[in-house]
């Protein structure tokens, strides 16, 4: 006699799906890896951070496998996809998350090398992921982690901003091509999320560990919801876009920023208008 299905226990949103997450060793990437596994997925995640990646793999167990891979290297990304197929036999979801702040400073002082390295990671990386993963996907979801810096200027360094605009453009145009195969392509646009990315690529392990707590109150400034977001909240958005709950959504950018990109917080508006009134009364 076959065991009956307990309909009171809903199926996990990603039950038996297979996903790749780049830049998954810490921060937003690690939060996505953990959340996807909790929701029933098998994960292959990549990073250049060997120790952090192996530690997360050990924490999660058999549902996640770690590969050291540079998201700017075509051979690494091709091998990442091939290994995923060899281990789990299919690919349902790709999350292009790997990133860094990149080169910064006045435009006349930005080095050509810094420009190339920043664009290679932030824009070429998602391109490579889509290029090598999409031919093996039968439907499913591709999620690019973009930024509110890809929607308007002023939140990030010049080249980071330009690259994230490119990620959103790539998301939209590729979504039109892959829609014919039932593959949805969307972007998530977070505000600044407290993570080790703010410590910079040369930071010590100890500084990287402390950085989220250091920057969290700074990132809350100017946010209408009066707090910074968290990696888990970006993972929630990624879960929605990976699941069947978003089956009719493609080519879109999902903004997760506490209202930061909407406009000036209401208390500051009131303060500004009060100053207007005071100046007019004094005239």
Tell me what pLDDT residue 41 has: 97
Tell me what pLDDT residue 5 has: 43
**How does DSSP assign the chain, residue by residue?**
-PPPP-TTSPPPTTTT-EEEEET-SSHHHHHHHHHHHHTT-EEEEEES-HHHHHHHHHHH-TTEEEEE--TT-HHHHHHHHHHHHHHHS---EEEE--------S-GGG--HHHHHHHHIIIIIHHHHHHHHHGGG-SSEEEEEE--GGGTSSSSS-HHHHHHHHHHHHHHHHHHHHHGGGTEEEEEEEE----SGGGG-TT--HHHHHHHHHHHHHHHHTT-TTSS---HHHHHHHHHHHHSGGGTT--S-EEEESTTTTT-S-HHHHHHHHHHHHHHHHH-
Whole-angstrom CA distances from 102 to 6, 49, 143, 150 are 50, 17, 21, 14
Domain-embedded: residue 10 = no
Tell me what pLDDT residue 280 has: 81
CATH number, position 164: 3.40.50.720
Give the whole-angstrom CA distance, residue 238 versus residue 39: 12
Domain-embedded: residue 9 = no
Give the whole-angstrom CA distance, residue 66 versus residue 50: 9
Active site residues: 160
Domain-embedded: residue 5 = no
Give the residue from 61, 119, 69, 58 showing the smallest Cα distance to 94: 69
Tell me what pLDDT residue 4 has: 43
Encoded tokens for 57: 């793999």
Encoded tokens for 24: 């998954």
Encoded tokens for 38: 């909790």
Q: What is the pTM of this model?
A: 0.91
Domain-embedded: residue 109 = yes
Structural domain including 274 reads: 18-282
Encoded tokens for 89: 């036999």
Tell me what pLDDT residue 198 has: 87
Tell me what pLDDT residue 202 has: 72
Domain-embedded: residue 12 = no
Tell me what pLDDT residue 8 has: 54
Tell me what pLDDT residue 9 has: 53
Residue 230 forms beta bridges with which residues?
none
Domain count of the chain? 1
Domain-embedded: residue 184 = yes
Token pair 């360094």 is found at 157
Tens of pLDDT, residue by residue, the chain (283 residues): 344 444 455 568 999 999 999 999 999 999 999 999 999 999 999 999 999 999 999 999 999 999 999 999 999 999 999 999 999 999 999 999 999 999 999 999 999 999 999 999 999 999 999 999 999 999 999 999 999 999 999 999 999 999 999 999 999 999 999 999 999 999 999 999 998 888 876 778 888 888 899 999 999 999 999 999 999 999 999 999 999 999 999 999 999 999 999 988 888 888 888 988 888 888 7
Tell me what pLDDT residue 181 has: 97
Q: How many CB atoms lie within 10 A of CB 60?
A: 18
């Amino acid at each position: 006699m076959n065991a009956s299905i307990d309909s009171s226990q809903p199926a996990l949103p990603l039950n038996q799906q297979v996903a790749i997450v780049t830049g998954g060793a810490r921060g937003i990437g690690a939060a996505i890896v953990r959340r996807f596994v909790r929701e029933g997925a098998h994960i292959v995640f990549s990073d250049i951070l060997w120790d952090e990646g192996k530690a997360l793999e050990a924490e999660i167990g058999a549902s996640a496998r770690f590969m050291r891979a540079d998201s700017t290297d075509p051979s690494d990304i091709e091998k990442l996809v091939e290994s995923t197929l060899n281990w789990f036999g299919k690919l349902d979801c790709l999350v292009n998350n790997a990133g860094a702040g990149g080169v910064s400073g006045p435009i006349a002082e930005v080095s050509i090398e810094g420009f190339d390295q920043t664009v290679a990671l932030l824009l070429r990386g998602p391109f490579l992921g889509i290029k090598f993963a999409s031919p093996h996907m039968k439907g499913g979801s591709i999620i690019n982690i973009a930024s509110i810096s890809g929607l308007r200027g002023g939140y990030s360094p010049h080249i980071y901003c330009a690259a994230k605009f490119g990620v959103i453009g790539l998301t939209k145009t590729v979504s039109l091509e892959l829609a014919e195969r039932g593959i949805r392509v969307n972007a998530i646009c977070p505000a600044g999320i407290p993570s080790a990315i703010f410590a910079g690529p040369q930071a010590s392990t100890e500084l990287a560990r402390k950085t989220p707590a250091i920057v969290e109150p700074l990132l809350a400034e100017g946010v209408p919801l009066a707090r910074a977001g968290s990696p888990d909240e970006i993972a929630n958005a990624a879960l929605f876009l990976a699941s069947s709950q978003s089956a009719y959504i493609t080519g879109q950018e999902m903004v997760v920023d506490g209202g930061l990109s909407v406009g000036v917080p209401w208390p500051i508006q009131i303060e500004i208008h009060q100053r207007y009134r005071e100046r007019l009364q004094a005239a």
